[in-house]
């Protein structure tokens, strides 16, 4: 089956949520409940996909959804899920490294898993561990699992995470990546109302170039950048 044409090839009035480019196009209009009519726009510069602000839910609604998450260190399935990030980061760490789990959520588990490997990991979360002083420290590693798709203004958040890295420290982000429009239009991932920004492989290349942070691991859903401040 050939990839369907986007709804419009005309420029849209919405700049890209990530890179700010105005060279954007309407990519998909959702027809499934509960998000019928929600628009998804595609940036021709960084290849990201984003939802315009008028379709975003409120912070109160967003928090209510996050509070429904039940993440437990005893959940072996959840541990297997997080292990993809853990395994991608461990080869880049010195002994007894100290890291930050950015967006750790209501039941932080990844920090426990790093501790089991001899590394300390602090937690930061806007809603559940809002301790901004932890953002004033530099770490050997920063992880952000299933966070960046929730960001309405991702660029300053990426800047904050990179600023938290020591020279040659690593930043690992975990998110699902859209491929073709055909796949995107049937993707269950976009039916979560808190998912508003989506990153493709060229999008991560743009981030790498913008922050001068080479990609040292590129997995199906995990990307690891290395700070170049030590160069």
CA quadruple 132, 58, 109, 155: dihedral sign: negative
Q: Are strands 222-226 and 215-218 parallel, antiparallel or unpaired?
A: antiparallel
Residue 210's pLDDT is: 98
The whole-model pTM stands at 0.93
Helices (H) and strands (E) in the chain, counts: 6, 10
Average pLDDT value for residue range 31-35: 95
Can you state the percent helix, strand and coil of the chain, rounding each to 5? 30, 25, 45
Report all structural domains of the chain as residue ranges with CATH numbers, in order of start: 57-176+200-226 (3.40.50.150)
Q: What is the mean pLDDT of the chain?
A: 94
- Could you tell me which residues come within 8 angstroms of residue 209 by beta carbon, excluding any fewer than 6 positions away? none
Residue 164 tokens, joined:
């938290």
Confidence bin at 230 (pLDDT 50/70/90): low
- Would you state the pLDDT for residue 182? 87
pLDDT band for position 2 (cuts 50, 70, 90): very low
pLDDT tens digits, 179-193: 888 899 999 999 999
Average pLDDT over residues 69-96: 93
CA distance 226 to 165: 9
**What integer pLDDT is reported at residue 74 of this predicted model?**
83
């Amino acid at each position: 089956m050939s990839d369907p044409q986007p709804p419009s090839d005309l420029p849209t009035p919405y700049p890209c949520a990530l890179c700010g480019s105005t060279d954007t196009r309407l990519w998909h209009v959702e027809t499934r409940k509960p998000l019928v009519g929600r628009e998804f726009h595609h940036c021709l510069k960084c290849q990201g996909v984003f939802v315009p602000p008028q379709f975003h839910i409120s912070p109160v609604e967003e928090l209510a959804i996050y509070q429904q998450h039940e993440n437990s260190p005893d959940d072996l399935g959840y541990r297997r899920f997080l292990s993809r990030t853990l395994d991608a980061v461990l080869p880049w760490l010195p002994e007894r490294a100290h890291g930050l789990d950015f967006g750790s959520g209501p039941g932080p588990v990844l920090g426990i898993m790093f501790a089991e490997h001899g590394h300390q990991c602090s937690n930061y979360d806007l809603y559940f561990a809002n301790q901004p002083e932890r953002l004033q420290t530099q770490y050997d590693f920063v992880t952000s699992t299933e966070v960046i798709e929730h960001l309405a203004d991702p660029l300053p958040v990426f800047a904050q995470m990179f600023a938290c890295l020591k020279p040659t420290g690593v930043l690992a982000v975990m998110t699902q990546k859209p491929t073709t429009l055909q796949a995107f239009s049937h993707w269950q991932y976009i039916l979560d109302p808190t998912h508003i920004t989506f990153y493709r492989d060229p999008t991560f290349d743009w981030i790498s170039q913008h922050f001068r942070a080479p990609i040292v691991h590129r997995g199906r859903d995990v990307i690891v950048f290395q700070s170049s401040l030590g160069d």
